[in-house]
A = this chain, B = another copy of it.
Amino acid sequence: MSPQRGPSGHLIVIGGHEDRQCDKAILAHFVALSGGPDARIAVVTAATAHPEQTWDTYCKALGDLGASHCEHIHIETREDANRAELAAKLADADGIFLTGGDQKRLLANLGGTELDTAMHRAFKEHGACIAGTSAGASAMSGHMLAEGDGLDRPPTEGVSLRAGFGFLQRVVSDQHFSERHRLARLLTVVAQNPYLQGIGIDEDTALVIDRGLGVEVVGQGAVTIIDGRSMLSNAAEVDQCDTPELIDVRLHLLPAGKRYELGADDHANDHLPPPLLDFLKNVTKRNPAS
C-alpha cells in the first residue's frame, strides 16, 4: 500500500471520452487519488471487446502521468473472474480503473465473483480509488442502467435496470449525457424508480466522490442531477408506450470546477442548499449496503 493513500476511498464516475492525449485532467485525478506515481493501478478491461487496444491506450496515458505500476486485468469468463491470483492483485490495488465497453458484459462476467469481492475489499478496507468510464461508470452503482435508446421524450418502456457493483447506492448514472441527449432517458428511469437519484455525466467530465467528505466535478462539462423523490407522477398507471405526467422533478446542474464539501455536522452544512446536501450525503455515504 502506498503511504500517500488516504483511508477514506474515492470514486470517480466518468462520463466517457475522458481526455487521454492532452491535459488528461480526469486521469491525473485518478492517479493522484490512487496515491501518485507509486500507486499500484489495475486497469480492468472486462467490459470491452477490444481489451488489448484499450489497455494500450490507458497504459500509455497513465504512464505519461507518471504512474509506474499499472497492470492489465482482463477476463473473458466467470471462471477467470474467480482466479485467486487475479483477485489478490485487485484486492491489493491502490487504484482500479473500469474501462468502457458494455456494462452488461462487465457485470455478467464479474458480478458476484472473487474479483468483484476483491474490488470491494480494496475500496472499503484500504481506501482504494475506484474509477469507471462510460460502461465502467454505469456499473459502479447498485442499480445499473442497461438498455434503452437516447429517447426523445420519456416513455415508460425501453429502459431497463440491472444489478451493478454497488459502490454507490440509491442512484443511477448515465454517461455521454449531454452529447447523446439522454435527459429523457434518465427522466424515464427516475419516473419509474423515484427511489433513485439520477446522475447524468457529460463526456470528458467526472464526478469525483471523496467518501464522507464531499464531491468535485472535474473535466470539461457538467453533471446533471435529477431528483424525483418529491415528484408527483402517474408513471405506475400509464401504458408502457405513453409519456407519463411528471410534476415537480428537481434538477441541478453542477459544472466542472465546482467542489462541494460536507461539514462535520449538520450545522456546518448550512451553506449548502438542502436538495444538494441531500445528494451529497447520499453519494458520499460510507459503507453503503450492497
Contacts and interface: CB of A to CB of B under 8 A. Distances in A.
Interface string A131-155: 0000000000000000000001110
A184 interface: yes
A8 B54 CA distance: 65
A251 interface: yes
A49 to B, nearest CB: 28
B247 A249 contact: no
A14 to B, nearest CB: 16
A220 B43 CA distance: 47
Nearest to A153: B178
A251 B233 CA distance: 12
Contact of A273 (B154, B183, B248): B248
Contact of A181 (B181, B244, B246, B248): B181
Interface residues of A, number: 33
B221 A153 contact: yes
A222 B249 contact: no
Interface stretch (A60-68, A164-172, A254-262): A254-262
Contacts of A242: 255
A232 interface: yes
Interface in A236-254: 238, 242-254
A17 to B, nearest CB: 13
A154 B251 CA distance: 13
Nearest to A250: B248
Nearest to A254: B245
A250 B253 contact: no
18 contacts: A152-B181, A153-B202, A154-B253, A178-B184, A181-B181, A187-B251, A221-B243, A222-B243, A238-B255, A243-B255, A244-B253, A245-B253, A246-B251, A246-B252, A247-B252, A248-B250, A248-B276, A250-B250
